[in-house]
Amino acid sequence: MPCLDIKDGRTVKGVNFVNLTDAGDPVELAALYAQTGADELVFLDITATVEKRKTLADLVRRIAREINIPFTVGGGIGSAADVSLLLNAGADKISVNSSAVKNPDLVNQLAREFGSQCVVVAIDSRHVAGHDVVHTHGGRTPTPLRTQAWAKEVEDRGAGEILLTSMDHDGTKNGFAKTLTAQLTHSLGIPVIASGGAGHQGHFAEIFADDDADAALAASIFHFREVDIRDLKQYLRQQGVVVRL
């Protein structure tokens, strides 16, 4: 799953959530990924919450016109009205993070109104003083929440998927957070998407080994053409991973 992190209308990528660099036009990248075999696409307006504004619905609409794969949108979503706007713009699923931490009942509300299959809870996790800690506001703000407990709570509240990003691994290209991801995958009954740290094809095979993740998301290696999605899926098939070709 390619991820488009959006800032000022452009796709960006950083390391450990900082030092962002431009990675291209999001509409062009989305079209490319849909054409080259991506299973799903994720769009995260990474500064919407910090800037206290709504997600860029017009950009979502432009991307949706170019793709034919499931499309998850996150950033600045705080109400059912926000979700309706984005679904009408072409999103298939929405992702909430900071707003869910601030108001956990939002997860229940959205699941009741739109269905659990529509509700993805994104968890940005950093290892702090021996614990995996949930962060909000684009990774800027630590919370008292522990990652595994929060994931279980949002599952119980009706979330349909967890998008787990390891802030420690993000952008490092040293591999996914296999242990943390496996803890969530094997303790929850909903899909867990691993995010943060992909650097080469082998890292995807590692995170899928032992069923430690249900899906794997990456950004820079796709944006900068370091890994081709079709080649990656062929490689995974050869490694015994069940993928759609």
The answer to whether residue 170 is catalytic is no
- What pLDDT shows up at residue 50? 54
Residue 139, phi-psi category: left (phi > 0), alpha (psi -120 to 50), beta (remainder): left
Mean pLDDT, residues 1-14 taken together: 80
Residues 193, 162: contact at Cβ < 8 Å? yes
- Rounded distance, CA 217 to CA 44, Å? 12
The answer to whether residue 5 is catalytic is yes
Tracing tokens 């108001």 back to the chain, one arrives at 103
Q: What is the per-residue pLDDT across 136-182, written as a single tens digit (0 to 9) for each?
A: 988 889 999 999 999 999 999 999 999 999 999 998 999 999 999 99
Among 58, 92, 105, 124, the one annotated catalytic: 124
User: Which CATH code for domain 3-238?
Assistant: 3.20.20.70
Tell me the domain boundaries of the chain: 3-238
- Rounded distance, CA 44 to CA 55, Å? 8
Q: What is the per-residue pLDDT across 83-107, written as a single tens digit (0 to 9) for each?
A: 999 999 999 999 999 999 999 999 9
Please tell me the least confidently modeled range out of 17-26, 119-128, 203-212. Answer: 17-26
Residue 178 to residues 146, 160, 164, 186, 220, Cα–Cα distance (Å) = 17, 21, 11, 12, 19
- What pLDDT shows up at residue 129? 94
